[in-house]
Amino acid sequence: MQYLPLGRSGVKVSRLCLGTVNFGPQTPEPEARDILDAAVEAGVNFIDTADTYGKFFTRPDVGGHPGWTEEILGRWLKDRPGRRDRIVLATKCYIECSPDINDRGLSAFHIRRAAEGSLRRLGVDHVDLYQMHHVDRQTPWDEVWQALETLIRQGKITYVGSSNFAGWDIATACQIARQRGLMSLVCEQSKYGLLCRTPELEVLPACRHYGLGAIAWSPLNNGLLAGIESLDEIARRGDEGSLKNLERHRPKLERYESLCRRTGQKPAQVGLAWVLANPDLTGPIIGPRTIEHLHDALAAVELRLDAQTLAELDAIFPGPGGEAPQAYAW
């Protein structure tokens, strides 16, 4: 495993971050625990979850509820004495977890309650990285930072990160935090991969400017870049959004599969290796549903894509043309 500092912070994280969104609704708890054990044994020390995980991707025969994934992680940590101190544990708040009108957003009222709920479900006294799951433009930044600063002072969180922020949201958050004498954000978690390169315009440059670690979520675009097996699984699930994306991108995906066959590499590994090759990225979040998915992802760390392969991938999945404004202006 390879490690990098998380942005400008001093803590070092594995270049693969283990995402847990499938744990519970898609991956039964015993298998989720096996994946967690295997990931840590392989050197993964960065584990990401959220207070709302457990209600996404639920199967009709399983059901689900917000907080389920954190509960699974909490039981795993309880049964693994000493494991807590070996991992960088991250969770998030913003998305509603109940019908309560105030159980959402980034108000100080919600941040405090959400953080305490996550700590209770995880069975820990602090989380290492607490992330805003989305920007809340209805709440003043001074209120947001006051709530986060209080949690830091209480020892309940160590670092603060963002997710799904625009470049100007990152700049605003960092500038106001600096005015308050705070370290501000250490990372941004953004949707990024061969099929979603928009962050190259402004999000990645903002991360570089402010010293944030950039973390890619859904680097394989919900399995579209994971190969024939995953495409078949998408078809079986009958997920309307994924099926539309599959049809929309089918010509590109066929060219991509052909390229992967020529290189002798699995599509999922190529997609992750492409993210890992970007010097602006700390790394991708992997969201394995099975232990086999985990092993495939781990192999991507050692995969080096040559210049010709990178050029061919750029031709199949062209980016926005560089950074703003040069990408669209003189």
pLDDT digit string, tens, across residues 94-125: 998 888 999 899 999 999 999 999 999 999 99
Three state DSSP letters for 31-85 = HHHHHHHHHHHCCCCEEECCCCCCCCCCCCCCCCCCCHHHHHHHHHHHCCCCCHH
Q: State the average pLDDT for the chain.
A: 93
Q: Please state which of the ranges 68-72, 260-264, 275-279 shows the lowest mean pLDDT.
A: 260-264
156-161 average pLDDT score: 98
Q: Is 53 a catalytic residue?
A: yes
**pLDDT of 239 over the 70 cut:** no
**For 135-145, how does the pLDDT look when each residue is reduced to its tens digit (9 = 90+)?**
999 999 999 99
What local confidence, expressed as pLDDT, does residue 250 receive?
Answer: 86
| pLDDT at position 321 | 93
**Domains in the chain: boundaries:** 3-316
* pLDDT of res. 330: 85
* Residues 6 or more apart whose Cβ sits within 8 Å of residue 180: 142, 145, 149
Query: Is pLDDT above 70 for 148?
Result: yes
pLDDT tens profile 170-224? 999 999 999 999 999 999 999 999 999 999 999 999 999 999 999 999 999 988 8
- Summarize pLDDT for 290-323 with one digit per residue, the tens: 999 999 999 999 999 999 999 999 999 999 999 9
Which residue pairs, CB below 8 angstroms and at least 24 apart, start in 29-36?
Answer: 29/72, 29/75, 31/290, 31/291, 32/72, 32/76, 33/72, 33/76, 33/79, 34/291, 35/288, 35/290, 35/291, 35/294, 36/73, 36/76
Superfamily of domain 3-316: NADP-dependent oxidoreductase domain (3.20.20.100)
| Average pLDDT over every residue of 22-44 | 95
- Catalytic hit among 53, 94, 159, 210: 53
Residue 88 has pLDDT above 60, yes or no: yes
| Average pLDDT estimate for 83-95 | 96
